[in-house]
Amino acid sequence: MKKVNIIVFALLIAISTGLGVEKVNSQVATKPAYTTAAVQYSVVNALDIVNNPQKYLNKNVKIIAKFDKFSTLGLDYPPVNKPSEKYISFLIQRPDVTNHNIPLSEFKIFLKKDVAEKNIDLDVGDEIEFSGKIFSAALGDPWMDVEDFKVITKKNPQKKEEKTIEYLNNDFSSLKGKRNLYGSTK
């Protein structure tokens, strides 16, 4: 009798478990394979992040700043693992200094090279907006991975004339026959 009770009990467990698995499998099959939630970014002043990087660690932030220059600052530093083959860093100007161009070098900002190449014509002082995640506070500095990058305004919107060798040759041809520093003509 004891054997029959054990077998019946085992069958009940097997049947109830089997029904639960079918129910779970039917629920999984009706859900989409991938769901992505919109990432929410907080608009933050860059100096606030620099002054308290731990507060913003693993947070999504959006910053509006003035571009300073592309750089290699922080690339290939092992604890943060941003290889120079895939990334370039850039510096922004200090928002607390308005009468000089001083970079905010404490803020390590990384951009994928393909995005940087599309924006290679940026000048010092161009206004930019970028969003991303503060992924590290190594060395007491914030380290940010940029996910979205936009140019808001260009300081010098005129397209710069590219100085090619042909252009320079034409420019110097006008000097033929004029005296040089030593008084001789060419």
pLDDT at 13: 56
Helix, strand, coil % in the chain, rounded to nearest 5: 30, 25, 40
Split into its structural domains, the chain has a count of 2
pLDDT at 171: 47
Q: Are residues 144 and 78 part of one domain?
A: yes
Closest CA to 42 of 54, 29, 31, 58: 58
162 within some domain: no
Q: Are residues 78 and 12 part of one domain?
A: no
- Domain containing 96 — which CATH number? 2.40.50.140
pLDDT at 39: 86
Q: Are residues 149 and 86 part of one domain?
A: yes
pLDDT at 129: 97
pLDDT at 172: 46
Q: Are residues 77 and 16 part of one domain?
A: no
Cα separation, 31 vs 186, in Å, equals 81
pLDDT at 27: 45
Cα separation, 181 vs 148, in Å, equals 53
What range does the domain containing 24 cover? 1-36
Q: What is the pLDDT along the chain (186 residues), one digit of tens a residue?
A: 566 566 655 554 555 555 444 444 444 444 444 444 688 999 999 999 999 999 999 999 999 999 999 999 999 998 888 999 999 999 999 999 989 899 999 999 999 999 999 999 999 999 999 999 999 999 999 999 999 999 999 988 765 545 444 444 454 444 455 554 445 454
Predicted model pTM: 0.65
pLDDT at 38: 84
| Beta-strand relationship, 108-112 and 143-153 | parallel
DSSP label at 138?
G
Q: Are residues 107 and 16 part of one domain?
A: no
Dihedral pair phi/psi, residue 6, rounded to 5°: -65, -45
pLDDT at 155: 85
SS3 call for 47:
helix
